[in-house]
Structures are given as C-alpha cells and as structure tokens.
Amino acid sequence: MKGLQLRGINKTYGNVKAVEDVSQEIHSGEFFTLLGPSGCGKTTLLRMIAGLELQDSGTIILEGEEITALPAIRRQINTVFQSYALFPHLNIFENVAFGLRSRKVPGPEVDKRVKKTLEMLELGQMTKRFPHQLSGGQNQRVALARALVNEPKVLLLDEPMSALDAKLRAQVQVELRRLQQKLGQTFILVTHDQDEALVVSDRIAVMKDGKIIQFGTPVEVYESPKNKFVAEFLGTANLIEGTYHDGQFHTELGIFELEKPPSWKKGLIAIRPEWIRISDTKPDKNGIRATVTEMIYRGTNLDLWLSPGPIRLRTSTYKNIQIGDQVWLDMAPKEIAVLNE
C-alpha cells in the first residue's frame, strides 16, 4: 500500500499563496497531522486532498492512482468537519446511513454496515436518538461513524475536537488514536492544538505561510525543532542567543557545552522548561546560578521564571521553593536543541 502522495501542490487566492509547493508522502495506515496557526494553509491543503478545492498545480496520488482530477465523490476519501454537520431531523442510525442510501447501497447491506460501525464506536444503544439528545463527544463519534461507514481509504479530520471542553477533548483524543490503530486506516488531522498533535500522531507536519517547514514523529519534532518557529509553536522553549567557537557556545548567561556542534557561528539554542533541573550543588556542565522571580502552581507541576534570562522552568519535585530563592540550574548538553534554520 503506497499511501497518499502530494507532489508540488500550490494554491493561490489573489495575491495570497495559501499553499506553496507542498510535497509530502503520507504512509498507508498512519495517523498524520497538519499542525499550524490559523491561516497557515493546513485546511486549504486538506480540502484539496478531499477534492473540495482545486489546486492551481501539483499532483495527488492515492495508493498509486492519480486522483488529481477526480471529483470528491469518487476519491474514496471522507471528511469529518469541525461542525460535525449532522442532520438534526434524522436519528443517529439514519445520519450514519445517509451516505450509503445516497449511493443506492441495498438496504440489508446498509443495516449491516451501520450497525457494525455504531457498535464499534459504542453507539449501538443510541440508534434512535437525535443529535440534540447526545453530548458533544457522542456527536463527534456519530460524525466519525458517518464517515467510516463508507469505508474510505483516507479519513480527513478538520479540527473535529475544537468545540469540545478541555476534559472531554483529552478523552476523545485518546479514543480517536485507539480507533485509528484498531482500524489501521489512514487518518489525516488538521489542528492548531499542539497537545492534540502530540497525543494522536504517528507523524506531524508543522506548517507556516503555506509551507511544511518540518515533519517527523512527535518526538523528533518536539525534541529537535529546526527553527525558532517550531520550537515556540510546538510547546514552550527558552531561546538563548550566542556565538559558537572553540567548541563552546558563548552567551550572556554563560558558556554552554553542546552535544552536537551547530552549523553556524552565531545562532540560537532551545531548552524546554521541563528539561531544566534544579540542583542543590553546582553542576559539572552548563550550570547557571539564578533567582526565582515568579511562580505558578499547576497541581502536579510548578512553573518558575528565573533571572537572569528570564528562564522558564517546570518542576514537580521542588514544591517548597519561594520567590527570591537562589538555585543552580542544570542544563545537560543532551537536553539542548540547536536551531539550524
């Protein structure tokens, strides 16, 4: 199975380049996420994959077959939209069956496929209910069922969890990931939520200004960001500017040792708040003496801001620390990401 291939995809609206020269291969059976801020082109790209928008140039290939010119109805690709778009006058069974009935699928086959899909999504006892009688999470699963019952080769998800509250969204994210792994189907998600992308994805493509600027596994993108934008958008990062010479990185905070030498003489390093540790004694390498200037209690964690810097740190062990305390910060060379772009 060759999955989905995008080759040189471009889309312009007037003078605005919504998507610019995007080439990407999405493996069959993987959960792939397009992550980026509003206006970066991720939804436009998703709509072109679905056949709801026509690209200006480029090629789309699904499992070895070019589908660039095919209308949406013939692409074997289904989309779950942000609004769910359920029919309020139809019960859950008929909402899920609607697409099959439109395609003149025989009645017994419709019944079989709808029941199977609803049972899989734990909605088998709700077939006669209407959308207004369900919770947001249940309606989201109905929208998924309506798409999956058509047995698409690719399922597109256009920010389907953005309308849910934080606790329910976290629960649905895990359910969605579990469902995708169970089905083994290709899911492509569009989101601006970094935590959501990290939870559900096999790979993430970070987009900015119509381009994919970095892609990889959640671990690769989070721990080894290529540039300042990725470091700041995907999580929180302390960015430290300096110059590299004689095998050391020289900054206003002090001299750092890096695990991997950068390709530049002047640039940035990034350190995640949770990578910095508080030490009772001066560390052997990359130790900084700092003063706590601000703190926020977050239950399991404590967020600290320290000077000089400011440097942000997240700890779960030093709960008794106070504003004004002086501490040693330990920034191990292996925990420092070098930004090469």
Task: Residue 19: name the closest of 4, 36, 33, 32 by CA.
Answer: 36
Q: Give the model's confidence band at 1: pLDDT under 50 very low, under 70 low, under 90 confident, else very high.
A: low
Locate the domains of the chain by residue range.
Answer: 4-228, 238-339
On whether the 238-339 domain is CATH 2.40.50.140, my answer is yes
The neighbouring-strand residues paired with 207 are 212
Q: In whole angstroms, what is the distance from residue 7 CA to residue 29 CA?
A: 20
pLDDT exceeds 60 at position 71: yes
Q: Beginning with the edge strand found earlier in the chain, give each strand of the sheet holding 4-13 in spatial order.
A: 16-26, 4-13, 57-62, 65-66
3-class secondary-structure state, position 17: strand
Q: Give the model's confidence band at 147: pLDDT under 50 very low, under 70 low, under 90 confident, else very high.
A: confident
The residue-averaged pLDDT of 122-131 equals 88
pLDDT in tens, 189-219: 999 999 999 999 999 999 999 999 999 999 9
Architecture of domain 4-228: 3-Layer(aba) Sandwich (3.40)
Q: In whole angstroms, what is the distance from residue 161 CA to residue 164 CA?
A: 6
